Amino acid sequence: MKELQIIVCVKQVPDPEGPADAFSVDLEAKQVVSTGIAPFLNPFDENALEAALQIKDNHAAKITVVSMGEKLAQPVLRKVLAVGADDLVLLTDSQFKDIDSYSGAYVLLTAIKRIGPYDLILTGRQSSDWGFGITGLHIAEMLQIPAVSLARKVVIEDGSVIVQKASKNGLDVVKAPLPALVTVSNEVGELRYVASVLANRAAAKKPITILNAADLGLEQELKGREIFTLSVFHNEKKCRLIDGGSAEEKGRNLAVIMKEDGVI
Which long-range contacts (C-beta less than 8 Å, at least 24 apart) are formed by 176-180? Answer: 176/146, 176/147, 176/148, 177/146, 178/119, 178/120, 179/118, 179/119, 179/120, 179/121, 179/143, 179/145, 180/120, 180/121, 180/140, 180/145, 180/146, 180/147, 180/148
Q: Is 158 in the site for another protein (CB under 8 A)?
A: no
* Shortest Å, Cβ 83 to another protein: 16
Q: Is 39 in the site for another protein (CB under 8 A)?
A: no
| Binding positions for another protein, 218-247, rule CB under 8 A | 225-233, 235-237, 239-242, 244, 246-247
Angle separating helix axes 197-205 and 74-82, nearest 10 degrees:
110
Q: Which is nearer to another protein, 201 or 250 (CB)?
A: 250
Q: Is 141 in the site for another protein (CB under 8 A)?
A: yes
Q: Is 25 in the site for another protein (CB under 8 A)?
A: yes
Choose, by CB under 8 A, the member of 114, 153, 175, 206 that binds another protein: 175
Residue 132 C-beta-side C-alpha neighbours within 13 Å: 12
Choose, by CB under 8 A, the member of 10, 12, 44, 48 that binds another protein: 44
Q: Is 173 in the site for another protein (CB under 8 A)?
A: yes
Strands 180-184 and 208-211: unpaired
* Shortest Å, Cβ 99 to another protein: 12
Q: Is 155 in the site for another protein (CB under 8 A)?
A: no
| Binding positions for another protein, 86-115, rule CB under 8 A | 100-102
